[in-house]
Structure 1
């Protein structure tokens, strides 16, 4: 039985006093899109309030498939282990640019739309990423052909093509509406892991000014096209200093949440570097977040196949430490990968080694799943 009850939260929005007469959170927080829908503003306020209460747990592609199953109504590996859906659902738009019926991981976009609407109706939070193909070569997002980033800027040779690609994403986002026909408030994390070197938009493939121009153009273009229901998540991978985190940062007026991605690759019983590195990065990011009045998130993480039975309570929680973050999301449960001849999943399923520890993780007061937030009616004021 979870200990946290949020029935009173509907009375306690940002800038509104509770019975104590005390303000709940910093009212300097504001959205970068000044034309945000009323529903997005309320969603942002309540999401910020929830950050004061705990950390929302998320899972990529949670409803679409799991280990040894695919597209079965109501199924979720997370729910089958913990008895509850995740609070945050991650989805990727890769494939829309080519007018594909399925995304890059094989999820039909019509099914994705259905899952997003279902999760939203239950009170879940939606976050979108986009492994958009390389516009210069037409190859996938991992093609780092030089000058690919520059090619999509307003003066670039692929600028018009890129706008057409963005239009496909915009068109899909406009179909994501609630039962009242209003746009669903969501998080959007474009050009993720930008401090890496594996995507065409990463730092090895463009100058800081070129990346900032790309980011600002994209957000401005979305808003020009009538998209006002997105919270924008700025996302890096590794960084060692405050200056490195901010080198490609487009500015406080073009981001709402600060985040990074980091995965466990070594045995945590022999190597504590994952925890140590996360703590260092959270310390740096927290300083920036406080200065700029931003929320923080651990936008992607995980330990493939989770071979350590206490990873959730012993490793992940230590990696986050005492920092207040909005959400933590683990990657997808693909299952068996024939090409690589190995299992690929990041959340436990029934019978998996870390199942018991995941239930303990679920029961932590600080960790929030869908039931913890669903009764809050976060999208209405």
Structure 2
């Protein structure tokens, strides 16, 4: 009897948690953005949204083919989330650093939204001090562009260009499409000009807060959800060291990739489990969405990676989404840069060895793909 009472109370508490209203960091967020945010909380018990970067743009041996999708090619269904990138927009380029034209990107965003999918956008901004790419860590760039820095006005001009693009992310009827915006990610690494090795926690927080305030209050971008996104961390304190505050964040996430040979160790799944435990605890306490914002194993040389590594590491953690990184396809000239499996005829042996394992992930009912996400009506 006591067990039944405990189970009843647990179910009641869980239902109550997902029935409550969650507030976006931007108090003026559009109604659709607020609905998306709350619906993403609501469906947490139902599964994890599956996403893929640049999914509609290119894949192994192809690019820019109408209605083609890497994930749809593999399992017959589109992903539930579509990721895009704004790097080089600040330089007035016509295409981003991954060679996707910005005008095409807007059309792809419309397509994903019409299918009921969720849109997420990252920004690998170039180094504003040196003029080199995001991976150039010289020049003390963060201190230079925050308020009081000698290149602050230049950074504002970059934000004006970002805002110009995001203001044009609309349906054909003119309604703003909600976007999960993920700037200055992987900050606990050491490879970007905004990472922890080249800026202090106070400088990073100042950069985040100014960016949020400028795009929200000055540029009036009210269709963004803001995702805070470190990489490595081993404790709650480390995850929160650069955290700008609950009033500036909607989603707590992190990036984590497989490296090395997974056939002879359990490092990936063990670490993923530990970090998800920290993430889900913090996000629940602070009423934020938890997510795995980037993951994958380049070229998937271990054919059972999806089930024996990724799914095992996720376990029973309730997170909003998992997002695979992009497939180079023809964009880098070789096609040998990918994170999603393929059934495409460009595979020399006719079928990707990782395909069947990915299909097991697909049919596991643990993840939400395009058909179900359309049924869930996340924007209503």
CA distance in 1, matches of 2:331, 2:99: 14
Give the secondary-structure state (helix, strand or coil) at the position aligned to 1:269. Answer: helix
User: Which residue number corresponds to residue 9 of structure 2?
Assistant: none
In the superposition, the TM-score normalised over structure 2's length comes to 0.91
Q: Indicate which of 160, 165, 181 corresponds to 1:167.
A: 160
* Alpha-carbon offset, residue 314 of structure 1: 1.5
User: Which residue number corresponds to residue 11 of structure 2?
Assistant: none
In the superposition, the TM-score normalised over structure 1's length comes to 0.91
CA distance in 2, matches of 1:172, 1:338: 25
* Alpha-carbon offset, residue 342 of structure 1: 7.9
CA distance in 2, matches of 1:234, 1:318: 24
User: Which residue number corresponds to residue 228 of structure 1?
Assistant: 222
Whether the 8 Å CA contact 1:337–1:344 is kept in 2: the answer is no
Report whether the alignment pairs 1:176 with 2:169.
yes
CA distance in 2, matches of 1:193, 1:56: 21
CA distance in 2, matches of 1:222, 1:67: 36
* Alpha-carbon offset, residue 28 of structure 1: 5.7
Give the secondary-structure state (helix, strand or coil) at the position aligned to 1:232. Answer: strand
Report whether the alignment pairs 1:319 with 2:274.
no
Whether the 8 Å CA contact 2:21–2:38 is kept in 1: the answer is no
User: Which residue number corresponds to residue 189 of structure 1?
Assistant: 182
Q: Indicate which of 43, 65, 68 corresponds to 2:61.
A: 68
* Alpha-carbon offset, residue 379 of structure 1: 1.7
CA distance in 2, matches of 1:233, 1:198: 19
Query: Structure 2: which 5+ residue stretches go unaligned?
Result: 1-14, 344-350
Report whether the alignment pairs 1:283 with 2:277.
yes
User: Which residue number corresponds to residue 131 of structure 1?
Assistant: 124
User: Which residue number corresponds to residue 364 of structure 1?
Assistant: 364
Report whether the alignment pairs 1:48 with 2:36.
no
Whether the 8 Å CA contact 2:63–2:329 is kept in 1: the answer is no
* Alpha-carbon offset, residue 146 of structure 1: 3.8
* Alpha-carbon offset, residue 335 of structure 1: 3.2
* Alpha-carbon offset, residue 338 of structure 1: 6.6
Q: Indicate which of 244, 255, 268 corresponds to 1:274.
A: 268
CA distance in 2, matches of 1:78, 1:378: 21
Q: Indicate which of 243, 256, 266 corresponds to 1:262.
A: 256
CA distance in 2, matches of 1:347, 1:215: 31
Alignment RMSD (CA, Å): 1.5
Pairs within 5 Å for 1:207-246: 207-224=200-217, 225-246=219-240
Whether the 8 Å CA contact 2:280–2:319 is kept in 1: the answer is no
Query: CA-to-partner distance for each residue in 1:143-195, whole Å, 9 max, x for gaps?
Result: 10141110001101110001100111100011111133111011011100010
User: Which residue number corresponds to residue 376 of structure 1?
Assistant: 376
Whether the 8 Å CA contact 1:197–1:203 is kept in 2: the answer is yes
CA distance in 2, matches of 1:337, 1:271: 33
Count of aligned residue pairs for this structure pair: 358
Give the secondary-structure state (helix, strand or coil) at the position aligned to 2:264. Answer: coil
Query: CA-to-partner distance for each residue in 1:319-340, whole Å, 9 max, x for gaps?
Result: 111111100001111037879x
* Alpha-carbon offset, residue 376 of structure 1: 2.8
CA distance in 2, matches of 1:39, 1:287: 27
* Alpha-carbon offset, residue 26 of structure 1: 5.5
User: Which residue number corresponds to residue 80 of structure 2?
Assistant: 87
More helix by share: 2
User: Which residue number corresponds to residue 3 of structure 2?
Assistant: none
Pairs within 5 Å for 1:340-351: 343-350=336-343, 351=351
Whether the 8 Å CA contact 1:193–1:202 is kept in 2: the answer is yes
Q: Indicate which of 114, 134, 158 corresponds to 2:107.
A: 114
